[in-house]
Amino acid sequence: MTASTQRMTIMCHLQRFRTLNTLESREILDVLHPAARVMELRRSGIKIDTVWTFEAAHIGGRRHRVACYILGDEEVQP
């Protein structure tokens, strides 16, 4: 999947659900490095906030620090 397709996939998810965390991105959307795609979306003017949480992995249950991306209500000026 190209970076462009990954950005579009993340944006569609954020527009529908308003939030996306790193584990969901990898497991549901098949975007393995969402931080890079979110950074690119921010540079294009999309307001996306990050909140850090701790989540248990689905396999093994080990807790990880996970970024939760939240779509903002307004665009920022690049």
* pLDDT (tens digit per residue) in 23-69: 999 999 999 999 999 999 999 999 999 999 998 877 788 898 999 99
Amino acid letter, residue 63? R
Residue 68: other Cβ atoms inside 10 A: 16
**What pLDDT is recorded for position 60?**
82
Question: Does 64 fall in a domain?
Answer: yes
**What pLDDT is recorded for position 57?**
78
Give the C-alpha separation, 13 to 61, whole Å: 25
Question: Domain tally for the chain?
Answer: 1
- Cβ pair 45, 77 in contact under 8 A: yes
Question: Does 78 fall in a domain?
Answer: no
Domain range for 61 is 3-71
Give the C-alpha separation, 70 to 1, whole Å: 23
Question: Does 77 fall in a domain?
Answer: no
Q: Tell me, what CATH number does 10's domain have?
A: 1.10.10.10
Q: Is the pLDDT of residue 77 over 70?
A: no
* pTM: predicted TM-score of the whole model, two decimal places: 0.85
